[in-house]
Each structure stands twice: as structure tokens, then as C-alpha cells.
Structure 1
Amino acid sequence: MIRKKSRREESLDHAELARLLPAPGDPHLSLDRHLLLEEHLMSEIQPTAPAPAPSRRVLLIGVPVTAAALAGAFAFTMLTGSGGSGTTAATPPPVEAPVVRIEPGSTAQLASTVEHIAAAASASKTPEPGPGQYIYIKSKVSYLSVLHTDADKSKTLVQPLHIREAWNSPDGKQGWLDEPGYQPKGGITLNSDVESSLNAPSYDYLKTLPTDPDALLKKIYKETKGQGNSPDQEAFTTVGDLLGEQLAPAKLNAALYRAAAKIPGVVVVDHAQDAAGREGIALAHVDQQSGDRTEWIFDRKTYAYLGSRGVQVKQADDVKPGTVLEYTAVLERAVVDAQKQRPGAQGTGA
């Protein structure tokens, strides 16, 4: 599986933007005009590579001048993975991000909560994909689109909630992605010759990872050194990326949770909601540089993984605290017999 490396980037200040962009000759663009330009660019840009899971966010600042708006529209297209030929359905316009109450996290119940989660993961009957089969993940998702600013106000815009389906072979060499409105009609190939790693994990690769939490965490820190905003944040993000559009052996899943509990700054949030509206308990970590908190959400009774949520907890880049920057919900996880096949259609569901 190839993941989209859409890491949060630092925004440029106005002085640097002035050096990079030509002097504006037009008045401020309205949000509607900005989005119209984005949609036009999306219809013109051809996809040159598969669009993997957008598991890392990029915050884009929409500067209200013509040249900057065009550049922002291009970046917006790359972020969402939209674009393609005339067969691509129109991308739905982004919507204003929801805002929720920020519930403080605590380490008081961290050890016991993680043990419940790890025990549930160990006991789960994870299907074993065989040669020629595919790992199927169906999710409901919404990711950050753009932060639009003008002279009077700013808006954090996100994708409307939508369905995303991914198929990946156990070796990670073949796959398919169907995400109506964000990929060409019918989907795109995820075929790849990239060597599997923590940044591009396959099921076969995950089977080689150590199931001792200390050894596993040491490997994660070593192989992600220099990435992200901090070693701890990158380690937490890397573990989280393995929980979404992927299938991992039960013992490794348990080890991942126990390893995550050892990362400084990890807390338990008693109440969180995934993209499907399911309430649960969460393991969370705050990115001290960007000010947002990543939450992995689990069923309160079964401790099964439900999805994730990114919530701004500190004011940054005009994003107010409580803003939900992204959220996901895993609706179905299965092994099927063919690419583009869904569980129940002569496949092996799970």
C-alpha cells in the first residue's frame, strides 16, 4: 500500500509570499470565485500517479490575490487527489469544518485502557489473505481541504463526508482505489513497485515486524527519524497510519497499541466520535508544533478500532480550537478474492 505523504507544512509569511508571487493586479477574490478556479484546475489536471491514503495533513493558506489563488487551487487539487480526465466526476465543494468541545485527555487510565484494547486485538480473528486475494477496506472519511482567509474572516474547509474503498494485495504491489468525487470515475490503480516499509506498508511487510512492544517502538523511532514535527509525534502518526487502510496480524496489532502507550504525551480521551457518528474512547496525542490532536477511537465495550479524528486544540494559523480537521470511520475490513470485489460477492468476508 502506498500512502499519500501529505504532511502538514508550515505556512509562508506575507513577506515571503510577496517575494515568490507577482504583484497582484486584481481585487480580492470571493470564496466562491476561489473554489470555481479550483474546480476548473481540477478538471484540467491529469493524474500521473496513484492516490494513496491522505493520512497526513497539509494546511494551505488561501491568499486572496489572483496568482496566489491559482497556486492554492493547484495545491488543493494535489492534496485531495482530485483531478483526472473528462471522466472524473465534479469534486464536491468543501464545507466549513465542524467544531466540537475539546475534552481534556488524561494518563490516569492509560495503562488499563491500552491493555483492554490490546487484549481485544489479540483475540480478534484476523483473516489471512492468500496469494491472489486482496485486503478490502471501506471507510467514511473527510480530510482538510484549505484554510481560506480574507480581510474580514477565515474559514477552515474540509471535504464533505464520503465513502472511500481500497483494495490491496498482500505484497502491496497491486491495488485499486474507488473514491467517487475525488478520483476518476470507476477508481484508479494503486499498483506499485515501491519497496514495502513503515511509510509504505504491505500485509507481508507487517508480518515481519517484531511483536515485542519495546523492539517495535525502537524500530519505528529509528526508521522515522527526522520526519514530522517531532520524533514522538511521528511515531504516534506512523502507528496510526497502520490502523486505517490496512490489515495487520492480531499479535502485531496488540503490539502496536502497547508500543503507542509508551510514547510520551499519549493520553486517553473519554469521549470521541468517528466519522460515522459512533461514540467511543480514544488514545490521543497532541502535535505541539501545529496544535492539533490526533485521536484513535475505539468502541467503549468491545475496544474494537472504529476510526480516527484530528481536532485543533490550540489556536494556530487562524484555526480555532475545537475545529475538526479530519475524521474517518472504518466501516468494513475484509479479504476478498479479486480486485474491485466487495465482501459477499463470492469473496471471503471478515
Structure 2
Amino acid sequence: MNTSQFQSDRREALRRQLVELPGLAVVVPPARPRPTRRILLTAAAALVGALVVGQISVTAQSAHAAGVLRAVADQSMTFVDPVPGPGQYLLVHTHANWSVTGIDEAGNMNHGMNAQTIDVYRPANPDDDWVLRRDWGDGHPVPMEIEVIRAKDGHFYGGPWTLMSDDELAALPRDGQALYDHFNSSYQGGSASRDENNFVRITDILRMGLIPADLRAGLYQALALIPGVTASEQANFDGKVGVAIGRTEPLRAGQRAEMIIDPANGLVIGERTIMTYAAFGFGSNEVTGHTAIDYRIVDSAPQ
């Protein structure tokens, strides 16, 4: 077999392998005229090969994540969310380990981790107060007492705990494309990029764990449309394994944000933030935030 026929066969084999990946857009470079110098042929082949393999890798990861998110969205719609009965509460328990920054006696800035717990009690009766119990942990730079806050509609710190009121959540579309268009069109320059802003705004809603199943499913479908989103297996802070939906922001020194989902029901069970390379005093692959979230129905809330 001559060289030309060999390259043609390899190209066709590559094309057949790639079209088997659902949702993967593939562009196979056209054949080029053969250079007159062997060194140019070698360099060009290496460069084209690196570009093609790199693009295939990124695109394949995004396609895989999109497929995973669509499956999780479907699973969310089949799961019956826990609903408290009369006099009961839906408790959303968060066990978090977050990075904190302090100044030592010599005036040097240093980083550390601080574990804390946040319990949010949502009452079955909408006229009753929500309750928040927060243990700020021992590693907080400023000593904080365990606090218990009662507030109408969960307005613990001057705004709704879910970042959006029930009425605002109800007004959002449920279709994934429509939700993506909603967030993308309302971008106002926040975050390091538009894509990061879309990812953060959607995950900020999901992370509170108080989102109806149909909206949760639509938000997962919207996440699947954001460039650079990937999926992998990852444990939450308490060790429960789920699907980590993540995105690395190139304009934020490679910081990677991940939301960990239970694939059995579509519920968010944690988050993780990691530095993909050393920057801002953090080491390469250093975890700067890690949480675990669970949900249960309880009969009472702290007084």
C-alpha cells in the first residue's frame, strides 16, 4: 500500500470512529498537496495531528457532558421531590469546607480551610418562618457564634436564600434552550466571561437545593449548552459519589467549578472548586472549596 492510500484509509477510519459519538461535531481536515521537503511534511503532520486530537478531546468531553446532563434531566422528572406535611419542614443540610484568607501577626496573607454546617428549614406552611442554623466553624478568621435566624420566605441575609423568590422561579421557562437564552441574553458583564457567568448563575440556583423538579431538569438541559462543560465521577465532601458537572474558566487562572449530582434523582449533593494550576497562592490541583448537601423531612426546627 502506498503512502497516499495509507493516509486516506486512516482518515476514513478516524471519521467512522468519530461519527459514532452522539452529538459530536467533527471536522476532518482535507488532504493537502504533498510538500517537496520531508521535514515540512513531518512538521505539518505533527501540527495538524495535535490540533485535531486537541479539538476532538475538548469536543468529545463537551458532548459526553451534554449526554450526561440530558440523562440527569430525564431522571429528575421521574423523581418525586420530598414534600413536608402539615407542621413539618424540608431540611437542606450543607456540610462545607471553604477556603478562608487571613493575616498573621507579621502581616503576611495566608490561606486555610474552614469546615462549617448550614441547615435551612423550609416550612410546609408558607406563612411560617423559614429557619437557618449556621455553625461557622473553628477555622473562620473572625470567631463566630452558632447562629439561628428565622425569616419570612427565607430572607435570612436581606434576600431570598434561593437567590430568586418562588414567584421569580415560577416565571422562568422550563425548556432548556429557552432557559439558556434567558441567562445568555441577560448577561451584564459579570464574571470572567459570558460562559462562566451563565454557568455560575444557573448553578447558583441549583445549589440551594429547593428547586422544583421540572425547573431543575430544564436548568440541567441549559447547562448542556454552555461551551466547555464536562462530566466526571467525583465524591462530595462527605464521600458520596456522584456526577460532577464542571467547567474550567481560562480567564480565571484555570479555576474549575464543579457541581456534584446524584444521577439517581437529579438532586445536587455537593460542589467542588479546584485550581487546575498554581496561582494566587494556591497550589496546582488544590481544592479551595468542597461541600456535601442532603435533604430530609423533619418535624421541627431550631428555636
TM range (shorter): 0.5 to 0.7
CA shift in 2, pair 1:106/1:339, >3 Å: same
CA shift in 2, pair 1:230/1:147, >3 Å: farther
Tell me the TM-score normalised to structure 2 length: 0.65
Once the two structures are TM-superposed, the CA of residue 223 in structure 1 deviates from its matched residue by 3.9
Task: Pick from 232, 246, 260 the counterpart of residue 209 of structure 2.
Answer: 246
Encode CA deviations 1:236-290: one digit per residue, 9 max, x unaligned.
Answer: 111111222231111111000000110111112x232211112222110112232
CA shift in 2, pair 1:229/1:173, >3 Å: farther
* Matched-pair contact (CA < 8 Å) for 1:294–1:309: yes
Task: Pick from 116, 119, 122 the counterpart of residue 77 of structure 2.
Answer: 122
* Matched-pair contact (CA < 8 Å) for 2:70–2:224: no
Task: Pick from 283, 286, 292 the counterpart of residue 248 of structure 2.
Answer: 286
Higher helix share: 2
Taking only the aligned residue pairs, the percentage that are identical comes to 25
Q: Distance in 2 between matches of 1:128 and 1:217?
A: 28
* Matched-pair contact (CA < 8 Å) for 1:293–1:312: yes
Once the two structures are TM-superposed, the CA of residue 222 in structure 1 deviates from its matched residue by 3.7
Task: Pick from 156, 172, 177 the counterpart of residue 132 of structure 2.
Answer: 177
After superposition, the CA RMSD in angstroms is: 3.5
Partner of 1:100: none
Partner of 2:220: 257
Partner of 2:149: 188
Task: Pick from 288, 293, 297 the counterpart of residue 330 of structure 1.
Answer: 293
Once the two structures are TM-superposed, the CA of residue 132 in structure 1 deviates from its matched residue by 8.0
* Matched-pair contact (CA < 8 Å) for 2:209–2:268: no
Partner of 2:235: 273
CA shift in 2, pair 1:189/1:144, >3 Å: farther
Point out where structure 1 has 5 or more consecutive residues left out of the alignment: 1-103, 342-350
Q: Distance in 2 between matches of 1:233 and 1:134?
A: 34
CA shift in 2, pair 1:237/1:129, >3 Å: farther
Tell me the TM-score normalised to structure 1 length: 0.57
Larger Rg belongs to: 2
Alignment pair present for 1:145 and 2:108: no
Partner of 2:10: none
Task: Pick from 120, 123, 143 the counterpart of residue 166 of structure 1.
Answer: 120
Encode CA deviations 1:73-124: one digit per residue, 9 max, x unaligned.
Answer: xxxxxxxxxxxxxxxxxxxxxxxxxxxxxxx992241232112111111111
Which amino acid in the other structure matches residue 170 of structure 2?
Answer: K
Q: Distance in 1 between matches of 2:203 and 2:295?
A: 17
* Matched-pair contact (CA < 8 Å) for 1:292–1:311: yes
DSSP-derived class of the 1:143 partner: strand
DSSP-derived class of the 2:202 partner: helix
Alignment pair present for 1:312 and 2:267: no
DSSP-derived class of the 1:241 partner: helix
Q: Distance in 1 between matches of 2:251 and 2:151?
A: 32
Count of paired positions: 233
Which amino acid in the other structure matches residue 192 of structure 2?
Answer: N
